[in-house]
Structure 1
Amino acid sequence: MHLTPSPSTMAPRDALGCTASTLVHDDELDAGGVRVYRKAVTMTELGPVETAPSDRGLLLGISLAPGHRRRIVHARHASTHDFGCGAIYLRDFGERYRADMKTGFDFLLVEFPQAVLRQTTERPLALGELLAASPVGAHDAVLHHLALALLPALGRPQPGCGLFVEQVTAAMAAQLLLRAGASQPAGTRARRRLSPRQEARAKEMLSMRVDGDQSAQAVAEACGLSRSYFIEAFRETTGQTPYQWVQAQRLARAQALLAQPGLSLAAIALACGFADQSHFTRVFTRHMGMPPGTWRRSAGH
């Protein structure tokens, strides 16, 4: 006789239905209402991942390692899938999900609320269209590279990384829509630009949080735009993404503070919104071609 475990005896599960105690990577962050996770386990027989139906939207999973196998249990049948590195899957939170994990896995996962997906496309789009365009286990090099770009932000979140994460997840949503034929390639689409008033408002808001972390979603709403439209229009208007523009403002402020001999590099790093002196030195060197201390001496300060 088969006995179903009672809720009190079942191992605790996380928001994605994973058994929390088995995870060797369990990272999570929120950026503009989009949640990004990294979930990984090394065990070979893992049991099921389960979630009840909800209105949370759509989950994109991108495999960061080869060799994962899972058996997905549908309403009237089951299917087994193998995942290579860069393989993807989409999961509609509106449907009950159960998958038996046959091997260990390492996935970056992005939870898109339905409102975010609706804002990204220019025509009404059913989740079924997105699911059909990206079958389980399909490989997508663009999404894989974008996932890799997010790993440092997940592993060690730093001040200002929220804008970068929003920018990358907006590109992921656009790629999903492109797979479904719901978005035109950038080269064939009319150029989007901010009005002078929108540009001024956006820069004002971004400047207010140069030493912290402004949300692209909040700035987009203040400009009366969707997040994806705002990010693209800001880039077309200024030649930089919002994240690049804020980074440039931080570096300009750092240069001004470096002209003050009494300020330490650690104090300047803190004043300009960097995580610490090491983070400040890495970013400054990458953009300016020399460490901040060397730049200060070469400028005669």
Structure 2
Amino acid sequence: MTQSSVGDSYDGAVIGDRFRLARPATILARTASIAPIGFTRLKSDRAPPGRTMDVPAENAYLFHVQLRPVEVDMWINGKCRSATTTVPGSTFLFDLSSNPIAEIRSSFDNIRFYVSQASLDEFAFDQGIRGITGLASSRIAFQDRVMWGLANALLDSVEHANERSTLFIDHVALTFCAHVVKAYGNAAVPHETASGGLSPWQLRRVLDFISAHLHDDHSIAELAHECGLSSGYFSRAFRQTTGETPHQWVMRRKIERARQLLLGNGLGLADIALVCGFVDQSHFTRVFTKLEGDSPGRWRRRHY
């Protein structure tokens, strides 16, 4: 079978078919220009019948991070590799050129990370890394605390995929790429040097841009473009300059604007949510409560 550089393995319908699930929730980060990086939650309260479907050969990789124990055996290139029973946090790395097939004998719940070789190449070039020709692990299942942390960080976003969280998803994707290239790549990764941060004009330009378009759902690539930087460099430089990720900075600005509106002209919560760039009142309430420790309604009553 001819191996393609980019396939459809991040598509929720295709993933669902392979695991005999209804279309599972999938979110995509487009930090790479060639193919998105995909995150999917695969969950079932019962074991699927038989083995999962064949996987067309593709120059890409999967990480499955288990959120609860699972009993599974794997077939890689037609050869059985027993994984028996795993524990929460167990991580699998699969090369999609090797037709990984699973026989799952229990309920399961995991976060699936998809990244193409093309996306890894683009990320590595941006970081000044040469010679990344694949990802590999010596074990079929292993513990990876970073992947476990990323999987848990993604849970809320995957379950609320309709909500605007592009900056957060992009940040996770860049962190994921940096980790897997360093931990599972086959090239020497240079020691990370501290960036000089954003210059005053770059910081002013990107903050003015965000403030003028606070209701929009920007990507890191769009913000980086305002500064004439790559996504990876911009993300690091922004955090060094402000002490926050772009997503954290934007969320704080939105909540500050929401507080002003809550104390001001009597707008309803649904209207404030839309003015501040949230999908709906539920999304606004969840973010506001997380950052302020109280719901918007109670906060308004306490401060009137």
User: What's the TM-score, normalizing by structure 1?
Assistant: 0.80
Where in structure 2 are there 5+ consecutive unaligned residues?
1-11, 31-35
Partner secondary structure for residue 48 of structure 1: coil
Identical columns (%) = 31
Larger radius of gyration: 1
Residue pair 1:73, 1:99 contacting (<8 A) in 2 also: yes
Decide whether the 8 Å contact of 2:73 with 2:82 is kept in 1: yes
- The reply to whether residue 272 of structure 1 matches residue 276 of structure 2 is yes
Q: What SS does structure 2 have at the residue aligned with 1:111?
A: strand
- Could you report, residue by residue, the CA deviation over 1:135-170 in whole angstroms, capped at 9, with x for unpaired residues? 320111221121011111111225331211111222
Please give the secondary structure, in 2, of the residue aligned with 1:159.
coil
Task: Find the counterpart in structure 1 of residue 94 from structure 2.
Answer: 91
- Say which SS state the counterpart of residue 90 (structure 1) adopts: strand
Summarize the alignment of residues 15-26 of structure 1 with structure 2, pairs less than 5 Å apart.
Answer: 15-16=14-15, 18-19=17-18, 22-23=20-21, 26=24
Corresponding residue number in structure 2 for 1:114: 117
- The aligned residue for residue 156 of structure 1 is 160
Out of 200, 203, 211, the position equivalent to 1:196 is 200
CA contact 1:51–1:97 (8 Å) conserved in 2: yes
Aligned twin of 2:73 = 70
Tell me, in whole angstroms, the C-alpha distance in 1 between the residues paired with 2:251 and 2:260: 14
User: How far apart are the structure 2 equivalents of 1:28 and 1:59?
Assistant: 14
Cα deviations across residues 203-245 of structure 1 (Å, max 9, x unaligned)?
2443344223111123234434332322121110111101001
- Equivalent AA in structure 1 for residue 173 of structure 2: T
CA 280–14 in structure 1, closer or farther in 2 if over 3 Å, else same: closer
Select the residue among 234, 239, 263 that pairs with 1:235. Answer: 239
Rounded to whole Å, the distance in 2 between the matches of 1:116 and 1:207 is 30
1:40 positional shift: 2.6
Matches of 1:218 and 1:277 in 2, distance apart? 26
Find the counterpart in structure 2 of residue 140 from structure 1: 144
State the 1:293 CA deviation. Answer: 3.6
Provide the residue aligned with 1:253 in structure 2. Answer: 257
SS in 2 for 1:109: strand
For these two proteins, the number of residue pairs brought into alignment is 280
Q: Tell me, what secondary structure is at the counterpart of 2:94? A: strand
How well do the aligned residues superpose, as a CA RMSD in angstroms?
Answer: 2.8
CA distances 1:96-139 after superposition (whole Å, capped 9, x unpaired): 414131424322112223343232543114243x314x632011
2:190, 2:89 → 1: CA distance? Answer: 23
Q: Distance in 2 between matches of 1:156 and 1:228?
A: 25
Q: Is the Cα–Cα contact under 8 Å of residues 163 and 283 in structure 2 kept in the other structure?
A: no
What SS does the corresponding residue of 2:234 show, helix, strand or coil?
A: helix
Q: Which moved more, 1:137-146 or 1:82-91?
A: 82-91
SS at 1:131 equivalent? coil
Give the whole-Å Cα distance in 2 for the aligned partners of 1:248 and 1:101.
45
Which runs of 5 or more residues in structure 1 are unaligned? 1-12
Q: Corresponding residue for 1:81?
A: 83
**TM-score normalised to structure 2 length:** 0.79
2-side partners of 1:69 and 1:252: how far apart?
Answer: 48
**Alignment correspondent of 1:6:** none
- Does residue 126 of the first structure (1) align with residue 126 of the second (2)? no
Worse-superposed segment, 36-45 or 262-271: 36-45
Aligned residue among 210, 214, 223 for 2:214? 210
CA displacement, residues 58-116 of structure 1 (integer Å, 9 cap, x when unaligned)? 222212221231222326x43222433212222333x1414131424322112223343
